[in-house]
């Protein structure tokens, strides 16, 4: 029975938004996850695999947002809330060359320079830590959108 609970929890985690993982996951869900982890029913490898799927889902959603046809305002990858997810997916070759050509970058970025600037080898371990220690939302925690300016008010 615990194996089924484990599978259900990991499958749900794969579909969870990165925002929810870092800030807004339900308190009872975190308690269940903590219980399963403390009792070694779920381990780091299990979590990392599910978190990787969540990152890829986030990246695909971001890609769809950035490349949709009816954007009134052009959005750029470095303006995303979690550009690290898109960089991770680009680095892992989730998107074809044809798909990457549809992405528009600013600041003379390319997919390669975007990955260089925004990829993080610690992304999955950082998210795993956030599962158990979520960030409290505050102004000091909010990071800028654009590495070049901190925010992109200068770009608009």
Cα distances (angstroms) measured from residue 52 to each of 6, 33, 44, 149: 17, 17, 12, 29
Task: Give me the pLDDT at residue 61, please.
Answer: 97
**pLDDT recorded at residue 136:** 64
Q: Based on the structure, what is the number of domains in the chain?
A: 1
Q: Is the model more confident about 133 or about 11? A: 11
pLDDT at residue 134, rounded to an integer = 82
Domain ranges, residue 115? 2-132
Question: How large is the C-alpha radius of gyration of the chain?
Answer: 17
pTM of the model: 0.83
Is the confidence at residue 127, as pLDDT, over 70? yes
Over 70: is that where the pLDDT of 74 sits?
A: yes
52 located within any domain: yes
Structure tokens at 10: 């990991």
Query: Is the residue at 32 inside a domain?
Result: yes
Which position has the higher pLDDT, 81 or 146? 81
Q: Are 33 and 117 in contact (CB under 8 A)?
A: no
Q: Which two tokens stand for residue 122?
A: 């610690």
Instruction: Give the torsion through C-alpha atoms of 57, 61, 67, 68, to 10 deg.
Output: 140
Q: Is residue 95 part of a domain?
A: yes
Q: What is the pLDDT of residue 144?
A: 44
**Is residue 150 situated within a structural domain?**
no
Burial per residue of 59-75, b for 16 or more beta-carbon CB atoms within 10 angstroms, e otherwise = bbebbeebeeeeeeeeb
DSSP string, 52-83: HHHHHHHHHHHHHHHH-TT-SS---GGGSS-H
Share of residues in the chain with pLDDT > 90 (%)? 72
Which pLDDT score is estimated for 154?
A: 41
DSSP structure class, residue 77:
G
State the Cα–Cα distance between residues 109 and 132, nearest whole angstrom.
Answer: 35
Helix (H, G, I), strand (E, B) or coil at 135: coil
Residue with tokens 């990165």: 18
Residue range 4-43, pLDDT digits in tens = 999 999 999 999 999 999 988 888 898 999 999 999 999 9
Q: Is residue 123 part of a domain?
A: yes
What pLDDT is attached to residue 153?
41
Q: Are 128 and 51 in contact (CB under 8 A)?
A: yes
């Amino acid at each position: 029975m615990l194996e089924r609970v484990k599978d259900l929890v990991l499958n749900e985690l794969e579909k969870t938004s990165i925002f929810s993982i870092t800030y807004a996951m339900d308190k009872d869900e975190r308690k269940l996850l903590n219980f399963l982890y403390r009792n070694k029913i779920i381990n780091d490898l299990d979590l990392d695999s599910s978190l990787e799927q969540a990152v890829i889902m986030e990246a695909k959603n971001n890609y769809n947002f950035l490349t949709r046809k009816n954007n009134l305002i052009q959005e750029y990858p470095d303006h995303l809330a979690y550009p690290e997810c898109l960089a991770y997916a680009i680095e892992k070759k989730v998107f074809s060359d044809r798909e990457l050509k549809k992405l528009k970058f600013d600041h003379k970025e390319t997919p390669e320079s975007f990955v260089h600037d925004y990829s993080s080898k610690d992304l999955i371990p950082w998210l795993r830590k956030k599962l158990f220690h979520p960030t409290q939302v505050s102004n000091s925690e909010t990071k800028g959108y654009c590495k070049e300016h901190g925010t992109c008010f200068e770009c608009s």
